[in-house]
Amino acid sequence: MLAAWARLSAQDTRQQVQAVVDGVRSPQHAHEAALLIRQLPGVEMCRVDHNTRNLLLHLHAGGTVTEAQLEEVIAPLGMGLRCVRTGPVQGASFRHLDPRTCEDPPAAR
C-alpha cells in the first residue's frame, strides 16, 4: 500500500500556485474569492485566507490557469494578487508568504 502511494506521489504533476491577495476584507470575502477561483477549469483546490492574505491553489496536471485569469476573477471583488509563486505540488508543509516582505530579494527577508 505504501509503495503504491509513493509511486503516485512521485508521478504527481499537479501545479501549486501561491500568492498574496490584497484587498481581502473579511473571512467571508476571502471565501467568496475562493469560490470564484474554484470555478476556473483545472482548479483542484483553492483557499484564500483572510488572516494571512495568502492564496493556495492546486491545479490538475495540465491545468492552464494564468495569473491574468486569476486577477480577472477577483478584480470585481476589489482584490489583486502579488508575489505569485508557482511550482509542482510537494509533500512539504505549506509556508505562508509574508505580505510585508514577499517582494524583497531573498537576502533581505
CATH number of the domain at 80, please: 3.30.70.100
Question: Do the domain assignments include residue 47?
Answer: yes
Strand (E) positions, 1-109? Answer: 15-22, 43-49, 54-59, 80-88
Question: Do the domain assignments include residue 5?
Answer: no
Which residue range is the domain that position 84 belongs to? 15-108
- Residue 70 cell numbers, joined: 486569476
pLDDT of residue 103: 79
- 20: how many CB neighbours lie within 10 A of its CB? 22
pLDDT of residue 21: 97
Question: Do the domain assignments include residue 88?
Answer: yes
Which pLDDT tens digit goes with each residue over 42-70?
999 999 999 999 999 999 988 789 999 99
Q: In whole angstroms, what is the distance from residue 14 CA to residue 43 CA?
A: 10
The amino acid occupying position 54 is: N
Q: In whole angstroms, what is the distance from residue 53 CA to residue 43 CA?
A: 19
Instruction: Give the global pTM.
Output: 0.79
What stretches in the chain show pLDDT beneath 70?
1-12, 92, 104-109
